[in-house]
Amino acid sequence: MHFARAFLAVLVLFPVALAACSAPAAMTPSDAPVIAAIIVKPRIASSDSVAVLRSIQAALGETAGVRYVRPMAGDAHIVYLTAPAQRADVPNLIERVRASGNFDYVEVDSMLKIR
């Protein structure tokens, strides 16, 4: 009897746990104001947006939110930095992501002007 209850509990909870583990992690609320867009290229190429966000969030802690935008060519990614960071914090935040050692390349995403 106890085995049947335990088996039923596992059978019911397994799909819920699997869905929770496979859903993308929310690193910041979707309505948080965007402070800057940055381009990052992980040292170890990854197409996993969640892994990229977790690595950035580990470097920044609670000082800034991060939101994935899209992948780029050459294994780079565009990511938004969001509140609670302020625009004046962006250079410091970029240096912290660089200092983590997890990225070959980190810079502010900006439009290039053709002369």
- Per-residue pLDDT in tens (0 to 9) along the chain, 115 residues: 655 655 544 444 444 444 444 444 444 567 789 999 999 999 999 899 999 999 999 999 999 999 999 999 999 999 999 999 999 999 999 999 999 999 999 999 987 778 7
Which H or E element spans position 108?
A: strand 103-108
Contact status, residue 83 vs residue 65, Cβ threshold 8 Å = yes
CA distances from 81 to 28, 33, 60, 115 (A): 9, 9, 10, 29
Domain 34-108 carries which CATH code?
3.30.70
Q: What is the pTM of this model?
A: 0.70
Give the residue extent of every domain in the chain. 34-108
- How many CA atoms does the CB half-sphere of 88 hold within 13 Å? 0
